[in-house]
A and B are shown apart, each in its own frame.
Chain A
Amino acid sequence: MSLRLQARKLACERDDRWLFHDLDLDLCAGEIVRVEGPNGSGKTTLLKILSGQLADYRGELFWRGAPMRRVRRDFLANLLYLGHAPGVKAALTALENLAWYQALAGASGDEDDRLAALETVGLAGFEDLPTGQLSAGQQRRVALARLELMPRPLWVLDEPFTAIDREGVAALEARLEAHTRRGGCVLVTTHHALRASSALRSVRLGEGGAGVER
């Protein structure tokens, strides 16, 4: 069965307030779904629920047609999640950070791949510096290098454009589209206007709690 993440009647309540309810979402191969909404409308919460991190919700999640609880490991093996915090260790170099991520995926990986990934995100020459000495944008790029490095079909990206410069944003947008052309899919939150593309859909949160899919 092909790549497919479905949410049925998803609802989440925080502090006596519905962030969203009755939210139906279908994420198929070759799609970019953008979650929009004002600050505090529950975008990050929705992404965390859809990436299997939060259990505090109502409704059902299906991964490739099977309930998420049963296929969690299979789901995680296909998921690449980038959160608010870049997940980059300041005391480790960019290469060491990437090596750990590769190993977490179960592959020992090789140095050339990591160097190539860092070069793609524009960090050639910064491989051996502790990432704590890099700028916020460069640290974010170290995290983004994981997109190049690990062949995971489902990307869940929470504000990936934060602290990235204009060229970097264009490159990342192109990267997202290239990913969907290869049959991957992307779930992304951003306040940045994404380039219009046939693969792009939007989900809007907020507005009294109901999630509307367009």
Chain B
Amino acid sequence: MSSAESGPARRDGPLPLAGEPEGGAMVAIRATLKRDLVLMLRRRSEVLNPLVFFALVITLFPIGISPDPELLATIAPGLLWVAALLAALLSLDGLFRSDYEDGSLEQLLLSPQPLAALALAKVAVHWLLTGLPLALMAPVLGIMLSLPAGSYGVLAVSLALGSASLSLIGAIGAALTVGLSRGGVLISLLVLPLYIPVLIFGAGAVQAAILGAGVSAHLAILGALLAVALIFAPWAIAASLRISING
């Protein structure tokens, strides 16, 4: 839309027909990012829930298994990764649901902007307020599991990279199940198989850091998974949203 159409003068004159929209995509993407950030920050409990879940699960393991530091250190990488993955999975159900219920999703689909880019903006906010905090919190919980020194940095980096893939892949499941009243379990079934490679290489990176082996190969594969997800997931999310809304 050109700026000539705005302003009070337009209320009386004949209506212009808009041509193909140009250049407005960045405005729409920025506004969607900002809107979702504001929304999430006004509903703090939704941001805190996955973090509390993560902390609780990790706290319970030493109590339930054994406080023996050596045993805990062996299982710590896997535990931290699995708990973070489940925490991220839990938060996914709400990604498109509230928008679906109040009709904003319908309007998002009717916007003349590329839907894949707008969906990517929503996923980016989800990662920023779920995946990234989980990654930053994991080293602190690692202390509780007596994770050997030297692997904390790798843990945070692997989770930050991996959780971005988790958000992207999970959003496809969230988009496919948004029209169903109880989509939570179905999302897990749909996306868990796709989460497994991320889990293997993520936990593997931390394990490698503990053993003193090189971690760059694991992190590179996590990065590659993220790159593939970034290329394909937005289109898949857009298509899934269309299917859900048309259903």
* A interface residue count range (under 10 / 10 to 19 / 20 to 34 / 35 or more): 35 or more
Cα-based distance from A101 to B1 in the complex (angstroms): 13
- Whether B246 pairs with A92 at a CB distance below 8 angstroms is no
- 11-49 of chain B: CB within 8 A of chain A: 12-25, 27-28, 30-32, 35, 38-39, 42-43
Report B33 CB to chain A, min CB distance, Å.
10
- Interface residue count on the B side (C-beta < 8 Å): 45
Is A87 on the interface with B (CB-CB < 8 A)? Answer: yes
CB of A124 within 8 A of chain B?
no
A85 / chain B contacts, CB cutoff of 8 Å: 101-103, 106
Residues of B within 8 A of A81 (CB): 106-107, 110
Mask: chain A, 141-176; 1 = CB below 8 Å from B; 0 = not: 000000000011100000000000000000000000
Does B112 sit at the interface, judged by CB under 8 A?
Answer: yes
CB within 8 Å for A116 and B43 given contacts A84-B103, A107-B1, A182-B14: no
B245 interface residue, CB < 8 Å from A? yes
Contacts of A104 in B (CB 8 A): 28, 31-32, 107-108, 111, 113
* Contact across chains for A106 and B27 when beta carbons are under 8 A apart: yes
- B112 near A73 (CB under 8 angstroms)? yes
Kindly state whether residue A202 has any CB partner on chain B within 8 Å.
no
Q: Are B17 and A89 in contact (CB under 8 A)?
A: no
Known contacts A91-B42, A100-B31, A103-B32; is-contact A109 B6 (Cβ 8 Å): yes
Cβ of A79 and Cβ of B110 under 8 Å apart? Answer: yes
Interface stretch among A47-55, A189-197, A203-211? A47-55
Among residues of A, the one whose C-beta sits closest to the C-beta of B106 is: A83
Complex: how many Å from CA A109 to CA B43?
Answer: 27
- Point out the residues of chain B lying under 8 angstroms from A130, CB to CB: 42
**CA A163 to CA B103, docked complex, whole Å:** 16
Asked if A37 is at the interface (CB within 8 A of a chain B CB), the reply is no
- In the complex, the answer to whether A103 meets B31 with C-beta atoms within 8 Å is yes
- Taken together as a complex, chains A and B put the C-alpha atoms of A115 and B80 apart, in Å, by 49
What residues of chain A lie closer than 8 Å to B102, measured between beta carbons? 85-90
Question: Smallest CB-CB separation from B30: which chain A residue?
Answer: A103
Q: How far is the CA of A206 from the CA of B31 in the complex (A)?
A: 42
Closest residue of A by beta carbon distance from B41: A91
Q: What B residues does A3 contact at CB under 8 A?
A: 17
The 6 A-B residue pairs with the shortest CB-CB distance in the complex, in nearest-first order: A106-B24, A85-B103, A103-B31, A87-B103, A104-B111, A76-B112
- Report B's interface with A, CB cutoff 8 A: 1, 3, 5-8, 10, 12-25, 27-28, 30-32, 35, 38-39, 42-43, 101-104, 106-113, 245-246
28 contacts between A and B (CB under 8 A): A2-B17, A53-B110, A53-B246, A54-B246, A76-B110, A77-B1, A81-B110, A83-B107, A88-B102, A89-B39, A90-B102, A91-B38, A91-B39, A91-B42, A100-B31, A100-B32, A104-B107, A105-B24, A106-B1, A106-B21, A106-B112, A108-B27, A110-B6, A151-B1, A151-B5, A151-B10, A179-B15, A183-B14
